[in-house]
Amino acid sequence: MRYAKELTLRLANRSGLLAEITSALWRKGVNIHAFSAEVDGRDGTLHLIVDKFTVAKKTLVESGWEAAEEKVLVLTLADKPGSLAFIASKLAEMGIDIRHAYAGAGDKGKTRMYLGVSDLTQARKALR
């Protein structure tokens, strides 16, 4: 288990915005390892895990987007039924809230999970 720095953008929902953001990062050679995007009415939230965090944040800010940063847990789980249930149950037992979660491709037979939690230190202890 490790941590990753995540970029979070809160944006007005507009057609083509994801293309603009990802193209700006692409032009700077930033690779996106995982992302989550959701829309709630007129507003949207985009979470990004990238390979060049500093370059990505600078690019986003210089392009006029506000990007907050947060440490998230990175877990590699077996790609089988119950893996997420086990993790969620362990965190719930410790009273740790999962604020947001998304998955990305992992190695063969594995899934990489990104979790924004209420207490990183306690979450790490709970999942040892």
Domains within the chain, CATH numbers bracketed: 2-69 (3.30.2130.10), 71-126 (3.30.70.260)
Q: Report the predicted TM-score, pTM, of the whole model to 2 decimal places.
A: 0.88
Asked if 30 and 50 count as a contact pair (C-beta separation under 8 A), the reply is yes
Over the chain, what HEC string results?
CEEEEEEEEEEECCCCHHHHHHHHHHHCCCCEEEEEEEEECCEEEEEEEECCHHHHHHHHHHCCCCCEEEEEEEEEEECCCCHHHHHHHHHHHCCCCEEEEEEEECCCCEEEEEEEECCHHHHHHHCC
Q: What is the mean pLDDT of each run of 10 residues along the chain (128 residues)?
A: 94 94 98 94 96 98 96 92 94 96 84 94 91
Residue 86's pLDDT is what? 94
Residue 38 pairs with which residues in a beta bridge? Answer: 45
- Can you say whether the dihedral through the CA atoms of 72, 51, 21, 56 is positive or negative? positive
